[in-house]
Amino acid sequence: MSDHTPNAEADQEQQEQQEPQEKNPRRKLIVILVIAILAIGAGLFYWHSTFTESTDDAQVDGDLYQVSSRVTGQVIKVYVDDNQKVEVGQLLAEIDPKDYQVALEQAQANLASAQASALQATVNVPIISTNVSTSVSTTRSDVDASQAAVDAAEKQVQAAQARVDEAKANQTKSDLDVERYTPLVQKDVISKQQYDGAVALAAANKASVLGAEAQLIAQRAAVTQAIQRLSQSKSQAAESVKNGPDQVRAQQARANAALAEVKQAQAKVDQAMLNLSYTKITAPVTGIVNKKSVQVGENLSVGQDLLTIIPLTNLWVTANFKETQIDHMRSGQSVTIEVDALGGRKFSGKVTQIGGATGSRLSLFPPENATGNYVKVVQRIPVRIDFTNLQQENSDLKLRPGYSVTPDVRVK
């Protein structure tokens, strides 16, 4: 027993010394593997992060439609309230149409009268031609009467010339209005209805110029006719036949003037119908009503804002990326849009436009860096992102202009 005891103790001590030596290399290997895995994971994460660019400086944008009055009058009905959803073409409010209905009826009556005068003047052209060819009478009293007719016709010419000048001035003003409204309607600063009214007024003024010029021609022809009659009264009956064609032309000029008056009256009817239609104010787009200020009984003026309609179907995202993020950004790249207000709900989109200048350069007061205390600041470029499947993804119409979003643009 005494011989085995020392040997057993020596073997046990040798085993205890070998076990730590075997564990230490295993631990080192595990640590190295963990570090390598973490390094590879970090590298993969960094490599994958270069596939996208994102920013939290982004908001949902949309057009805001200002609905205004096209005509003056008292509001008799209002059909909508704030935050109410409306469809395109839906009736929003009504203006008392009585005055405009009366104006339309008067314009229609004037048109009927002008049409009757034009018919009579046209029918008289062949009659005057026949009468002139057979007319051979001349007397002393005709000389006095013809002289008086010449004087009166010359005064009518002066009056007609004044009307032509006035009509041309009105046409010039209306044409300038159309030129000013054209870029405004293209940018949606004014409504299409206001632009159409300006175009209709320009057409009416153009017709007025034509009518005034036709009247001037007719009056000048009347002067010519009166002078011819005076000459005929002093000459023999045979010479009166020679002046017949001038009388026919004068009558033809009267017929042309009457036809121009018909066009002028028709333009006034069209304008009256437009004004009557403007008494019913309808929604230009589908959207949500906001900032409603119109009330029943209120007297409106032309151009007065009544309410704002915010469409929920024509939306996009304006994202302000840092200038260091747009190197690989191009139009058409796919985007994943995460909406904060909807609990991180995601929408699909694509890059449509990249701004032509930084936000600071487009501000009201751009920075002036020509100073000695300049500090370099990373600038931001506005990027427009359009939704590619908005109708389906926003079927519940919960997306609103102004919501903060986080877009991830896939640049690789």
- Tell me: the pLDDT tens digits for 330-367? 888 899 999 988 888 999 999 998 888 877 777 666 66
Pair of tokens at residue 174: 């209306």
Q: What is the pLDDT of residue 387?
A: 93
Cα–Cα distance measured from residue 258 to residue 246, given in angstroms and rounded to the nearest whole number? 18
2: confidence class by pLDDT, cuts 50, 70, 90: very low
Phi, psi of 228 (to 5 degrees): -65, -40
Of 48-62, 277-291, 315-329, minimum mean pLDDT range = 48-62
- Report, as an integer, the average pLDDT of 296-303: 91
Q: What is the pLDDT of residue 138?
A: 47
Phi, psi of 7 (to 5 degrees): -65, -40
Q: What is the pLDDT of residue 275?
A: 93
- Report, as an integer, the average pLDDT of 300-304: 90
Helix (H) or strand (E) holding 7: helix 4-49
Q: What is the pLDDT of residue 240?
A: 55
Name which of 337, 320, 338 is nearest 329 in CA terms.
320
For residue 295, pLDDT over 80 is answered with yes
9: confidence class by pLDDT, cuts 50, 70, 90: low
* Bigger pLDDT: 310 vs 157: 310
Q: What is the pLDDT of residues 204-252, one digit of tens each?
A: 877 887 877 787 687 777 778 767 776 766 665 445 555 566 666 777 7
278: confidence class by pLDDT, cuts 50, 70, 90: very high
Q: What is the pLDDT of residue 190?
A: 73
* Bigger pLDDT: 176 vs 61: 61
12: confidence class by pLDDT, cuts 50, 70, 90: low
Percentage of the chain beyond pLDDT 90 is: 27
Name which of 341, 347, 349 is nearest 383 in CA terms.
349
Only one residue has tokens 């229609």, namely 108
For residue 52, pLDDT over 90 is answered with no
Pair of tokens at residue 10: 């020596």
Provide the mean pLDDT of the chain: 79
Question: Concatenated DSSP letters for 210-238?
Answer: HHHHHHHHHHHHHHHHHHHHHHHHHS-HH
Neighbours of 42 (CB within 10 A): 10
* Bigger pLDDT: 158 vs 67: 67
Q: What is the pLDDT of residue 45?
A: 65
Q: What is the pLDDT of residue 1?
A: 43
Helix (H) or strand (E) holding 142: helix 140-186
Q: What is the pLDDT of residues 189-206, one digit of tens each?
A: 677 787 777 778 778 877
For residue 21, pLDDT over 70 is answered with no
* Bigger pLDDT: 44 vs 348: 348
Name which of 254, 216, 7 is nearest 122 in CA terms.
254
Whether the Cβ atoms of residue 164 and residue 220 lie closer than 8 Å to each other: no
Cα–Cα distance measured from residue 294 to residue 306, given in angstroms and rounded to the nearest whole number? 5
Q: What is the pLDDT of residue 69?
A: 92
For residue 18, pLDDT over 60 is answered with no
Q: What is the pLDDT of residue 182?
A: 81
Q: What is the pLDDT of residues 70-88, one digit of tens each?
A: 999 999 999 999 989 999 8
Residue 332: which region, alpha, beta or left (left: phi > 0; alpha: psi -120 to 50)? left
Whole-Å CA distances, 376 to 149, 326, 367: 87, 18, 12
Q: What is the pLDDT of residues 107-160, one digit of tens each?
A: 999 999 888 888 877 776 666 666 555 554 545 556 566 667 767 777 777 777
